[in-house]
Amino acid sequence: MTQDLTTVIVGGSHAGVQCALGLRRLDPNRRIVVLEGDGNLPYERPPLSKAVLAGSSGSQIRKPAVYDKQRIDLRLRTRVGAVDRTNARVELCDGGSIAYDSLLLATGTTARYPRIPGIELEGVRTLRTFDDASWLYSRMTPGSKLVIVGGGFIGLEAAAAAAKAKVQVTVIEAVGRVLARVTNEVVSRFFERLHVSNGVEFRLGQTLLGIEGRNGHVQAVVASDNTRLEADAVLIGIGVAPAQDLAVAAGLACDDGIQVDRSCRTSDENIFAAGDVTRHENLAVGRRLRLECVQNALSQGEIAANNMCGFPREYNEVPWFWTEQFNVRMQSAGVHEPGDKILVRGDPDANRFSVLYLRDQVISAIDTINCLPDFTAAKRLIQDRSPVNVALASDPARPLTPLD
C-alpha cells in the first residue's frame, strides 16, 4: 500500500460510499476519488418514496465533513463518458481524465419509461432521485389527482404517502395483483386491501395507452380499457434497468447487469462493480442474480474494498428487503422460486403474519408482516440452509427453529 495507488469510484451510491470508506480504513495512503453526476451529496435512497414524500429533507449517507476527514475526493456534478481500459483511465464528460490502479463501477440503475404518446409531458416523472421526490411532494396537495403506473414497492410506497396527504390516488398495474414480481398472492391481496381501505383505487390487469396534456402539461391518462383518468401528476414506477452503458462500451462482460465474481471483480481484474448494477453469484441463494437493495450494495462495496487492498473476501449474504406502508412493515429475506411451497403462519386479517417459501424442508425465503421475530429467525435458517419441521413451522405460536 503506497501513496501512488489511486482508486476511482464511479457513483456516489451506497455501494460507492461504502467502498470509499472501506478503502480508507484498510489503506491510509491510497488516493480515493468518487465521481458523482448528481449535484447533491450522496444520499439515502429508501427514504425517497417514504420519508421525503412525507416532508422530510432526506438523509445523507455521510455528513460532508466525513469526506474531508477521510481524505475522499468527492466530485459532484462530474460525469464519466468512457472507461479506457487500455490506459487505465476514466474519461470525463467535461474533457478531463483520471488514471486509476483500481476502478469501481457503482452506477446503480435507471428508471424504465413506457414508449407511449405523451410520456414527455410536464407532470410525468419517475422516482429515482431526491429531485424527483421533492417534485412529487410539491404536487401532493389535498384533492389533487395522482396516477401511479406500476404496483411494485416504489408505486405502493408513493401511493401510501400520497393517500395520507389526501391526494386522490389511482394505481394502474399490468398484471392481476400488486407486488407480483416479489411476493405471493396472500401478501399481494393483503396490501391491496390495506390500500383500498385508505382510499387508493386500483386498476389491475391494465396498462397505459397514452397520456393527454394541455399546454405541455399532463391532464389525463388513458388506460388499456379506454378509460380516461384525470391526472395532475403521473408517476411511472414500472421498474429499472442496470446502468451498465459504461461497462458495455468498455467491453466488460454484462448480462442484465455487470457480471462480477464473488469478489465483486468484473471480467477486467482491475475493475470492480458493486450494488444494483451487478449480476453476481449469490452463495446463499445458489445462483447468479441481480439485486436492488441497500443491504446488497453495502456488502458488495465493502467486499470490493477488501479485495482491492489484497484482503480476499467473498460475497455470501442472504438478500433482505423491507417496505413500510400505512404503518405496516413488511420484511423479506431470501429469494423464492415459482416451484416453492407456500406456508402461511398467522392470520393476514390480524395484520401480523408470515409467509414461508419452502423447498422440501428448507426455507428459501420469507415475507413477514409486522413480525420481526420470524424475519430474524428465518434469515438465519436461510443462511445456514437448515431444514425445519414443516408442521411446527406452520404454528405461529412456536418460534422458527432448525429441525431436531
Task: Let me know if the fold of 6-110+241-308 is the same as that of 327-393.
Answer: no
Reported as a single tens digit per residue, the pLDDT across 327-365 is 999 999 999 988 999 999 999 999 999 999 999 899 999
> Cα separation of 69 and 25, whole Å?
12
Torsion sign across C-alpha atoms 98, 104, 108, 109: positive
Mean pLDDT computed over 302-324: 94
Which regions of 215-372 does DSSP assign to beta strands (E)?
217-223, 228-230, 233-236, 240-242, 258-259, 271-273, 278-282, 287-289, 320-325, 328-334, 341-347, 352-359, 362-369
209-228 per-position pLDDT tens digit: 999 999 999 999 999 999 99
Spatial neighbors of 26 by CB under 8 A, at least 6 apart, are 305, 306, 309, 311
* Pairing mode of beta strands 168-173, 145-149: parallel
List b or e across 383-401, with b for residues whose CB sees 16 or more CB atoms inside 10 angstroms.
eeeeebeeeebeebeeebe
- Cβ–Cβ under 8 Å, residues 53 and 29: no
pLDDT at residue 180, as a whole number: 94
Domain locations in the chain as residue ranges: 6-110+241-308, 124-238, 327-393
Q: What is the pTM of this model?
A: 0.93
How confident is the model over 30-52, as pLDDT tens digits? 999 999 999 999 999 999 999 99
Q: How far apart are alpha carbons 247 and 259 in whole angstroms?
A: 10
Per-residue model confidence as pLDDT tens digits over 247-305: 999 999 999 999 999 999 999 999 999 999 999 988 777 788 999 999 999 999 999 99
Per-residue pLDDT reduced to its tens digit, 83-113:
999 999 999 999 999 999 999 999 999 999 9
Residue 347 exposure: Cα atoms within 13 Å on the Cβ side: 3
Q: Is the pLDDT of residue 144 over 60?
A: yes
Quote the cell numbers at residue 177: 395483483
| C-alpha to C-alpha distances, 237 to 104, 109, 118, 346, 353, nearest whole angstrom | 28, 13, 16, 31, 27
| pLDDT for res 281 | 86
Which amino acid appears at position 183 of this protein? T
Q: What is the per-residue pLDDT for 3?
A: 58
CA 171 – CA 237 distance, rounded (Å): 10
Please state which CATH number belongs to domain 6-110+241-308. Answer: 3.50.50.60
Q: Which residues neighbour 376 within 8 Å (Cβ) at sequence distance 6 or greater? A: none
- pLDDT, position 352: 95
Q: Look at the domain 124-238 and name its fold.
A: FAD/NAD(P)-binding domain (3.50.50)
* pLDDT 10s digits, 150-186: 999 999 999 999 999 999 999 999 999 999 999 999 9
Please tell me the class of the 327-393 domain: alpha beta
Nearest to 319 by CA among 268, 260, 261, 378: 378
What pLDDT is stored for residue 1 in this prediction?
Answer: 47
Residues 6+ away with beta carbon under 8 Å from 100: 6, 7, 8, 88, 89, 90, 270
> Whole-angstrom Cα distance, residue 5 to residue 257?
28
